Structure formats: structure tokens, C-alpha cells
Amino acid sequence: MNAKRFVRPAIWLLMFVLVAIMVNNFLTGGDDPQEIDTVQARGEIEAGNVESALVTGGEVQRIELTLQDGEEVWAYYVDGQGIELVDQLHEMHESGDLPGGYNVDIPQSNPWVAVLGTVLPLLLLVALIIFFISRMQGAGGRMMQFGKNKAKLASKDAPKTTFADVAGADEAVQDLHEIKDFLQDPAKFQAVGAKIPKGVLLFGPPGTGKTLLARAVAGEAGVPFYSISGSDFVEMFVGVGASRVRDLFKEAKENSPAIVFVDEIDAVGRHRGAGMGGGHDEREQTLNQLLVEMDGFDVKTNVILIAATNRPDILDPALLRPGRFDRQITVSAPDLEGRHRILEVHARGKPLAPDVDLRTVARRTPGFSGADLSNVLNEAALLSARNDSKVITAKFLDEAIDRVVAGPQKSSRLMKDEEKRITAYHEGGHALVAAALHHTDPVHKVTILPRGGALGYTMVLPDEDKYSTTRNEMLDQLAYMMGGRAAEELVFHDPTTGAANDIDKATTLARRMVTQYGMTERLGAIKFGSDSSEPFLGKEMGHQRDYSEEVAGQVDEEVRNLIENAHQEAYDILVRNRDILDTLVLGLLEHETLNKEEVAEIFAGVRMLDDRPPWTGSPRRKPSDFGPVEIPMKISPNGSEASDEHEGDDAGTSEEQPPVDGSTPADETTGS
């Protein structure tokens, strides 16, 4: 039984007793009698004005006289005249001169009562003083512990996370295997003069498993694992964060080999001196101390710092240099195979129906992180339990994906028939334009059921993962986005606000094509605008326009041209396939949702859009315009020089040669 539970009630009880004693003393001792001297008392007695008398003894010795007129007076008596008055009253009583009576009340006092009445208040007062002093010392102790680190040490009894629990991040696991091997057997690396990285930085989008990887390293190595957040270092008092950093690394070194994991390190490791109004003294001092502690690592320290962030661009350069975070590991969203293995990990312990194919689920979830995939399976399990199903079926998984992508279905929202018809043509326009273009992803689902903030949606998904996007693919995306607006104009001649999100996305993509990707012939392959903004400034304030007003007008014109051309392409497709659009809308109005197979059957006879003219880019001079071209010497496989056998006019059009080191040119990729 915990004795601390009874400390506070006992203290309050003692305080109550003390107050009660003080109140009692006040009440009993505060009713002072009217004091008269012995001369006055003797005069009243001799004059025969006394009706009765009461003599009391004890702590207060007094004579209480009740006069003939009913008035009561008191007189204290002591040795001398007081004793004579008592004797005189006694004689009067025997002679009958006191008709009201004469009483003597001298109580026999208990010595322990007197002792307690004197000592107990003192004891209670001392107890209260000791209590308040201890409270002040406790507060002072907590103040002294303010600079202690708040890191949580993983318990040995807790379930361990291993690399078997990590899927979809093979490259990161391979890099972290070395950390585990070094912690288990550092002599193996020291024998060949190898130095293990002092720090490992894991960065990537949220939910990709950075914290899970750090725990897996600790679980595999079996060493103490200190986990702390970057925000735990920063306090309102300057110097506290630096003190906590020193305490954390001191404790880790005393228990080495150990792993220190700092999650969200951007909270303390931001670029120093950036932003408006100066820096943050507490954060910068904490970062300085962190840099000093990492420099203090030596080969025999056996303490490794692992940090995680999804914003590596705002970290201080001194934190990222070699000798601090020597190894930087990107933890990106998993590919198709990675998603499949992640689903298998999270499906452990969940009863799946025979019709569930996790690979199909992985194909339907491109761009999902590990946290998203875990959420999909959890949502499917919740739906199964809600419908009193013992297993998770493919239907529940399909609904779970839709919930994660677009939000829960709003079955309570009632739509008028006319509004439902407009929504059907809008979504049908998206789907039909996507099917009639050459570089769009297949249509997987079309629905007019309200979900999230949308009245309906069209889902197009790639059959395989893609890591770059071509110009024609982006132009097709623009036409697909404008398909809903074009369908409303074609059928109703009165567009609605339902295309607001489509127009926003299309404008953003078109502006990126012009200013970032160099996808226009007029402006060429030039990047307009600088994104190297300060970390603490807003997006609009941080964006710098490094081009003239004339160029800004040209950028706006090119964006407008891209949007208008995409809009026209979508309109032409819908006009050419109006009968298929009407058939699709009838199916949507009847079934409300059409899957991939049903949509493909309706689009079997769709008339495709004509191919666009080939991309010519900015005008360039031909090689012959530069005059004679010197033919470089080729390097043979054995390293000797060999002259080119092709001479003459074909030299200028010869195929590009690989670099002299034998490596192939890197593929040019463009982010979408």
C-alpha cells in the first residue's frame, strides 16, 4: 500500500485540530469578566447587597457575586485580601446572610490535559513549518532537475522491434545493418580502420517508417535506446536545452554502447540566424551544444545518434556536414513490391477472406506510405466489425481505400435528381477524357456518391510505379482535369462551381510546367522564380521573383494557353464521343458506382484523340552551322586509344558517346 496517499490527508487533519484548539482557547478565554478590586467587593458584601456567591479555583481564581438587583460582577482573588473575602463569604453563608446560596467549585485539573494544551499547538506548528520547508525543498529540487533530459529509455521487458517488422525500405535497412553490426562487434570495424558514422539522419515524408527503423536498430542490437523529441530540449529559459543535451549524452556514454534517437530534430536543428527579427537564443544554444557533443564522440565512445525529420531543407548546414551526421538515409514512399510486403506485415493477426489479394490492394494504393497502408487495413477491420463480419473481405478493403483517399461516404446527404445528373456528367467527362487520351492512367472507378467534400470522384491509377513524367503526360493530365468542366458546358451550357478544385489543380500544374519544368517553346528551359526562401518566412514572402514584368506577362500567357488548349482537347473528345458519354451517365445514374471492368466495357468503342505534334523545344542551330567538327578519339575497352572509323558528313550526327570512365549517362528525370 502506498503511504504517500495518506500524507496529505493527515496534514490537513492536523491543521484542522490546531485551528479547533485555537478557536476553543479564544472562545473560553475571550469572555473576560468585569474586573473589580477587592475593596469594591468588600463594600458590596458589607452593605448586604450580595444575593449569592460562587468561588471558583483552578487556572482562574475568582469570586462571582450576584447582587440584589441581579447584576453580576467578578473579582479575582489572590493571597491576602482575597483569602479574607472568601472567609467572610463563608461566615455569611453559615449565618444565612446569603439567601441566594454560596458555592465553592475548585476542579481537580489533569496534568496531562495541561501538558497537551500547551505542547500540542507547538507540535502542530513545528509540523507545519517542516511541511512547508519540505515543499519548498521539493520545488527547489525540481528546479535543479529542470536541466535533466527527458529521454525515455526503452524497457528491456517491452516487445522488441526488429528488421523483420520493417518492410518497403530495403535500402534504409541495409544501411542501418552496419550500425547494428558495429554496436554488437565494434572490433570488426576497428581492425580495418573503419569508423562508424557518428550520426545517422533519416528523412522522408511523414509515415514512411523513420521512427520504426530507429527502434528496429535498437531491437536488433540489444543496446539501451534513448528516445526523445526535438521539442523536449527547448524551454522558455535560455540554457535549459543545452543542459539537457549535456545530460543526455553523459547518460548515454555511461551506458555505452547505446543509441540516442531524436525525433523531429528540425524543432531544435533549424538554420541558425534565419528568419525575421533575429534568431532564437534558446534553440541556437541547444543546437550549439548538440554540435559540440557530436564532435566529442571518439572511436571508443560507441554512442550513435539517430535523428529523424521530414524537413531536411531547413536544418543547419553545420549539422549535416561529415563528422556530425555522416550518413543521411532517405526513407521514401514504398514501391509496389514494398507496399505488398508492408500490407503483409500489417495483415498479421487479421482474418482475411479468400477473395482478398494484397497485391491488388498494393496496386490500388500508389503513393501510400506505410502509415497509410496500416490505416487502410485498420479501417477495413473496423468496417468488418461494424457489419458483424468475422473476416475482412475485398469489399471492406475497397471501401477502406476510398475512405482514406476521399473521406467517409456521406449517405445522409440527399441530392436532387438534377444535381445528381450534373454530377454524373461531370465525373463522366473526367473518365471519358482520360480514356480517350494516349498518356493517362487507366480509369479504376467512377462514382457519384458524395464522399468527403466531393459530390463524386473519378479514380485513375497507374498499373505500375512511375518516377518521372513526360510533357505529353502532363498535357493529358490537364485535359483530364478540364474534362468535368467541358462536359458541363457541352451538355448544360451552364457550368457549375463543381470544377473549382479541378481548375485550381490544372492552373498549378500548368504554372509549374512553365516556370519549373521548361515545357514551353516560347520561354524555353529556364526556371523562373527562386524557391530558396528562409525557413521561418511564409511561402509567399519567401518566394522571390527573379524575372521582369514582361516575362511575368509571358508566363501568364503561356499558362493560359496550356489551360485553354487542354480545355479545347477535352471538349473535342466529348463531342466526338457524346454517345459514349450518355451511356456512361445512364450507368452512373442507375448504379451510382462503376468499377474498372464496367467502365472498360462502356469505353470499348471510344474514339481516341489525335496525336499531338512532336515536341520541338526551343529553336537551335544545326551542328553544321558551327563549322567543322573535330571527331573525338574513342577509348577502346582495353584502355587504348582508337580513331573513329566514321568520318565525313556523318560525324556531326553520330550517336552520343558514353563517358570515358565507361559509365552510362544518368537518366534525366522530372518531378511531377
The residue whose grid cell reads 527579427 is 277
CA neighbor of 441 nearest in space, from 475, 464, 471, 467: 464
CA–CA separation, 426 and 428 (whole Å) = 5
Whether residue 502 is annotated as binding a ligand: the answer is yes
Give how far Cα 175 sits from Cα of 202, 203, 517, Å.
Answer: 11, 14, 33
Report yes or no: 402 and 372 within 8 Å, Cβ to Cβ: no
Whether residue 671 is annotated as binding a ligand: the answer is no
473 is catalytic: no
CA–CA separation, 512 and 525 (whole Å) = 12
> What is the spatial order of strands in the sheet that 72-76 belongs to?
72-76, 62-67, 50-56, 102-105
CA–CA separation, 302 and 257 (whole Å) = 5
Which triple of cell numbers denotes residue 537? 518566412
CA neighbor of 84 nearest in space, from 34, 35, 46: 46
Q: What is the 3-state secondary structure (H, E, C) of 556-615?
A: HHHHHHHHHHHHHHHHHHHHHCHHHHHHHHHHHHHHCEEEHHHHHHHHHHCCCCCCCCCC
Whether residue 253 is annotated as binding a ligand: the answer is no
CA neighbor of 534 nearest in space, from 297, 174, 259, 278: 278
Tell how strand 634-635 and strand 641-642 pair up. Answer: antiparallel
The residue whose grid cell reads 543535451 is 245
Cβ-based neighbours of 427, under 8 Å, separated by 6 or more: 446, 447, 448, 456, 457, 458, 484, 588
Whether residue 209 is annotated as binding a ligand: the answer is yes
Whether residue 208 is annotated as binding a ligand: the answer is yes
524: left (phi over 0), alpha (psi -120 to 50) or beta: left
Whether residue 211 is annotated as binding a ligand: the answer is yes
CA–CA separation, 55 and 48 (whole Å) = 18
* Sign of the dihedral defined by the CA atoms of residues 511, 515, 517, 520, in that order: positive
Whether residue 150 is annotated as binding a ligand: the answer is no
Whether residue 168 is annotated as binding a ligand: the answer is no
CA–CA separation, 117 and 24 (whole Å) = 11
Report yes or no: 338 and 208 within 8 Å, Cβ to Cβ: no
Whether residue 410 is annotated as binding a ligand: the answer is no
Q: Which residues make beta-bridge pairs with 458?
A: 446
Among the options 251, 284, 379, 427, which is catalytic? 427
Where is the binding site, in residues?
Answer: 204-211, 426, 430, 502
Where is the binding site for Zn(2+), in residues?
Answer: 426, 430, 502
> Annotated active-site positions, please?
427
Where is the binding site for ATP, in residues?
Answer: 204-211
